[in-house]
Structure 1
Amino acid sequence: MTSEVDPLLSKVEAAVSAQKITSSAAENIKIWLTEPRYASYASQVADHIQAEKWQALDDAFWTVIPFGTGGRRGRMYPIGSNAINERTIGESAQGLASYINDNVEGPLSCGIAYDTRHRSREFAELCARIMVANGFKVYFLDDYRSTPELSFLVRYKRCSCGIMVTASHNPPSDNAVKVYWSTGGQVLPPHDKAIIDRVMNVEELPLDVVFSEAVGKGSIEICTDEVDLAFIENVKGQRFSGPRDLKLIYSPLHGVGASAVIPALQADGFADVEVFGPHAEPNGDFPNVPGHVSNPENPQVFDAIIERAKETGAEFVLATDPDCDRVGCAAPVTMDLKGEWRTFTGNQIAALLCDFVLSKKKAGVGVEADNYVVKTLVTTEMVRRIADSYGVKTFGNLQVGFKYIGGTMDEEGPDNFLFGCEESHGYLVGQYARDKDAAVASMLLCELAADCKANGQSLHEKLESLWWQYGYHAEHLLNQKMEGSEGMANMKKLMAKFREQPPTSLDGMALQRVRDYKNNVIVTPDGKQAPLDGPPGDMVILDLAEGNYVAVRPSGTEPKVKFYMFTYVEPEQLSLLDMAKSAMQERINALETELKAYAAAI
């Protein structure tokens, strides 16, 4: 065997010398060629080397795919430590099982679900087999189901952990596993790092369990119908009284959403709901979505749905991402259904839902000082200002990732939790889950839209009324793609530059301070430092004029750096809303131009 491998390793070393692949890729290739645990993949690796597929090899091997904000996510490829394949999925399940076996007392169980992506069902069965081989009972949702329903399943069946096979809104090439703790929330530190340590040291995968035989023995329990009913009942439990006269169109964007959103809307009394035909088919290629990326953050996703709404006289449209944990929406700007329609940003939806939930709670059971809402650091401060006006607390000093919102619910007590939100279109009301849920958010958005209609007001006009009350807030997200090993190196350089040589001003606004969450310090332009009370993470916030700031962080799930821009005009300074909108759009345009130039100069 050594004689066969040596020439291959020599070719790999030569490729490193010729800068065709990185040294880190070469190290991982050697592991997959020589270690017994990867023996079944060695021939495929060898074929790639012989064919000199260096770019494919570098992409697949330059690192070991990590746990990010949403789990272990990446491009599917048959081989590679930086790809989603049978081995990396299997390692993820085995690492999770090993860690829980050593740290949690039995009996042990795991909930598993999957979405409509390519190979999702296959990967879900693989995870189930591995968990059973490690002594776990598996509760399995035997059809396309939503991520929040998996979170609910973990809590409902009191599982030790959960696995959701999905890559959320990523392109069709990707897949992933999201790993859940017994709380129903995604795995938090220090468990995430401890699990990845186990993953890195997985030797052989226990693949002897046959899925159908495990079902027959009861080691895998198919519980889809039972959990569906309980899940929808809990979503319905978050409803508020009010009108239900609303004609709407819903799109699952080729994902799982029809299994959750439609039953929730029906249970809440919304009878006039059309599922948008071109997006109805569960299909991992997302064929009828612009760019084949089913992301409700993208306004273009709604163009065809809005045209259908104008044809049919629908008053509101909704769309959820493939695993139905995030939702976007669009509505007419005025009460004229044939006139202009606009989508809402994730931050705008957060503000609308926050005010709606708190106003309904106040009018019903009332709100108390111990009640609270939760948001992340990169979610609009308008949510905090709304919560302040209702006399409830806001926990907003959180890194990106709904898992931190779920963790805060458990730390502070879920009985006092009213609303959780993040800027990327994720929302939760209720205690039944510890992850964002597009079903409950869709239901409440429809209730809000029906309320507005009954009051002779469009949803956009409702948002404007909130701006008059709390000040005009405009936010914008710029994604700077940095793919591959070179991109990762550039991301690190860029983040270091923001810490060491931040811009002295942006759009004429002088830099007031830098909040460095990696080193937990506040740095002022004169070089003075002070401790930062904040959650550790690779993020920098540049504070500018009052209420204006920019947050910068590498994505935890995709190869890009994210620039979050926040602008604000205090309500006392609002004279004309249109003028404020125009001025803040100019500011955002200038911020984007200057940030792009700054990033290009690394």
Structure 2
Amino acid sequence: MASMSADLVADCLARLHEAHQNSVITDHSLATMQTWLREPRYAEFAEQLADLIIRAKVDKQIWKSLDDAYWTVIPFGTGGRRGKMFPVGSNAINDRTIGESAQGLADYVMATRTAGSEPSCTIAYDTRHRSEHFAKLCSEILLAAGFKIFFLRGYRSTPELSYAVRYTESTCGIMVTASHNPPSDNAVKVYWSGGVQVLPPHDKGIIERVMQVNEISRLPFNDGVNNRRVVFMEDEIDPAFVRAVLKQATAGSRDLSVLYTPLHGVGATAVIPVLEGAGFQNVRLYGPQAEPNGDFPNVPGHVANPENADVLTGAIEEARSRSDDVVMASDPDCDRLGAAAAVRPEKDSKWKTFTGNQLGALLTEWVLESKSRKNVLQPTDTVVTTLVTSGLIRHIGKKHGVNVVDGLQVGFKWIGRTIDDIGPEHFVFGCEESHGYLAGTHVRDKDASVAALLLAELAAELKVQGRTLHQKLDDLFCTYGCHLERQVAIKLPGAAGMDRM
């Protein structure tokens, strides 16, 4: 790319200085934008930045966008990099920051791999804007570093990516998704071999490499395909993943009417085949939220988070009118599950949603009770959860005579690590308050498809008894004591939000 003229650079620098003098942009924003205009490593973004600076003379709002995009460096956290998309900026998701993430990961793997081993990475993406673009960008960077790429074409779930990393025995994995964030956001989640999100010491090692990235090297994606360095895996992985989830199925009634919404995300590729594969034939997609769409247009507030009861409102109305038994919803990358059901079995009963802790309690009880009936529950079996998750889980586990690990840090990756620490053969269920659940050892992350399977089985058994999920929850409260919680979310975006904090 041809460099900008010296006159244009000088003009932009003068405009930046004036904006800073007028307190329109912060010190860090000024310094970082100057760097992006001057240094060769940012040359491909300089013209875009210059265009925005010039346009800011007429549209003053652009200065705020630029200040938010440059006032700091978007962190590469312990699981990856997530934030608002913007074409330029050190504090935004764009080709530069995603590229740095992939290059840093590649550099770390190459520095720590066993001599003579071939590095490989499995890559998948969700329905968000530019997710496929970022997935291919990461592929190109890893190809240039000497990696073999196992690529899942089309929208796939985060747990399927975790499974695919294990299936292909990849060195690492990348999932392009911002989970349940607003439509403006995107991210990369980074996984290590074994399918768990990066843990110490690898997380800190990758972060250091990401922060040290200067030049980013790429090889064309199509060249990788032609040279068989990019291998498309979806036809092999999809059915294998569903089979792995179905190993958690328990025989019983399948007489259940389920209305399921993927909230415009990837869930129909995972939850629907799992439920149908388990024998649940009366499963229907909620039409208004079925289309894969990164704008989440028919989700209230356009934030597809099943923790928010409002996102299920439309589906609940349809379910009541058509006498369905349960509503289920997964977030855009299908690793979290929300649900709602009638309070009582009568047709005119009101419906209520479940909190993450309530679903966790119901599923823990179902998994342990099912194993107990089969006489396969062992004292060494273990339920794993995190320190912010309800103490009700511990009470249920102890009543069934199993181990409970419940003091872990927040984040499902700590559950994933614990599975391997205790031995996968001892793991029976894991959950956390934010609607993440896992049974089985096919993945090392939360999985909405296996959670949907377990919840459907429980709801179907209760239906035979003429009872509802909410009545079962009341039984748990009567047995172990009533456990209540409340979640509060405070939004403080951008540089102004940081100042308020």
Which one has more relative contact order, counting CA pairs under 8 Å at least 6 apart?
2
1:187 aligns with 2:179: no
Q: 1 CA distance for matches of 2:375 and 2:64?
A: 60
Q: 1 CA distance for matches of 2:71 and 2:154?
A: 35
Give the match for residue 67 of structure 1: 76
Give the match for residue 346 of structure 1: 356
**Residue pairs, 1:390-409, within 5 angstroms:** 390-409=400-419
Q: 1 CA distance for matches of 2:170 and 2:279?
A: 32
**Residue pairs, 1:519-598, within 5 angstroms:** none
Indicate if the aligned counterparts of 2:77 and 2:207 stay in contact, CA closer than 8 A.
Answer: no
How big is the shift at 1:196?
Answer: 2.0
State the SS of the aligned residue for 1:474.
coil
How big is the shift at 1:187?
Answer: 1.0
* Residue of 11, 19, 25 corresponding to 1:21: 25
Q: Relative to structure 2, which stretch is displaced further, 171-180 or 5-14?
A: 5-14
The residue identity in structure 2 corresponding to 1:348 is Q
Give the match for residue 301 of structure 2: 291
State the SS of the aligned residue for 2:485.
strand
Q: Relative to structure 2, which stretch is displaced further, 300-309 or 258-267?
A: 300-309
Q: 2 CA distance for matches of 1:402 and 1:162?
A: 16
Indicate if the aligned counterparts of 1:247 and 1:314 stay in contact, CA closer than 8 A.
Answer: yes
How big is the shift at 1:67?
Answer: 2.8
TM-score when normalising by structure 2: 0.95
Give the match for residue 45 of structure 1: 49
How big is the shift at 1:11?
Answer: 3.6
Give the match for residue 137 of structure 1: 148
State the SS of the aligned residue for 1:397.
strand
C-alpha change, 1:410 and 1:26, in structure 2 (3 Å) is: farther
Give the match for residue 248 of structure 1: 258
How big is the shift at 1:7?
Answer: 4.8
* Residue of 155, 176, 192 corresponding to 2:187: 176
Q: 2 CA distance for matches of 1:70 and 1:292?
A: 24
Give the match for residue 12 of structure 1: 16
The CA RMSD over aligned residues, in Å, is: 1.5
C-alpha change, 1:69 and 1:196, in structure 2 (3 Å) is: closer
* Residue of 146, 165, 175 corresponding to 1:164: 175
**Residue pairs, 1:87-106, within 5 angstroms:** 87-105=96-114, 106=117
* Residue of 132, 143, 148 corresponding to 1:121: 132
State the SS of the aligned residue for 2:488.
strand
Q: Unaligned 5+ residue runs, structure 1? A: 492-602
Q: 1 CA distance for matches of 2:31 and 2:201?
A: 27
Q: 2 CA distance for matches of 1:408 and 1:10?
A: 55
* Residue of 109, 119, 123 corresponding to 2:120: 109
Give the match for residue 146 of structure 1: 157
Give the match for residue 280 of structure 2: 270
Give the match for residue 59 of structure 2: none
State the SS of the aligned residue for 1:481.
coil
Indicate if the aligned counterparts of 1:372 and 1:392 stay in contact, CA closer than 8 A.
Answer: yes
State the SS of the aligned residue for 2:409.
coil
The residue identity in structure 2 corresponding to 1:342 is K
Indicate if the aligned counterparts of 1:113 and 1:165 stay in contact, CA closer than 8 A.
Answer: yes
Q: 1 CA distance for matches of 2:332 and 2:23?
A: 38
Q: 1 CA distance for matches of 2:99 and 2:107?
A: 12
How big is the shift at 1:70?
Answer: 4.8
How big is the shift at 1:304?
Answer: 1.1
Q: 1 CA distance for matches of 2:29 and 2:424?
A: 45
Give the match for residue 343 of structure 2: 333
Instruction: Report how many residues are paired.
Output: 490
State the SS of the aligned residue for 1:95.
helix
Q: 1 CA distance for matches of 2:28 and 2:389?
A: 36
Q: 2 CA distance for matches of 1:131 and 1:232?
A: 28
How big is the shift at 1:69?
Answer: 5.9
* Residue of 414, 417, 421 corresponding to 2:427: 417
How big is the shift at 1:3?
Answer: 6.2
State the SS of the aligned residue for 1:476.
coil
Give the match for residue 32 of structure 1: 36
Q: 2 CA distance for matches of 1:75 and 1:201?
A: 22
Q: Which runs of 4+ in 1 moved over 4 A?
A: 1-4
State the SS of the aligned residue for 2:387.
coil
Q: Unaligned 5+ residue runs, structure 2? A: 57-61
How big is the shift at 1:427?
Answer: 0.5
The residue identity in structure 2 corresponding to 1:205 is I
Indicate if the aligned counterparts of 1:69 and 1:400 stay in contact, CA closer than 8 A.
Answer: no
Give the match for residue 224 of structure 1: 234
TM-score when normalising by structure 1: 0.79
State the SS of the aligned residue for 2:128.
coil
Q: 2 CA distance for matches of 1:187 and 1:204?
A: 24
Indicate if the aligned counterparts of 2:78 and 2:204 stay in contact, CA closer than 8 A.
Answer: no
How big is the shift at 1:226?
Answer: 0.5
Offset from partner CA, 1:290-310 (integer Å, 9 cap, x none): 111111111111111111112
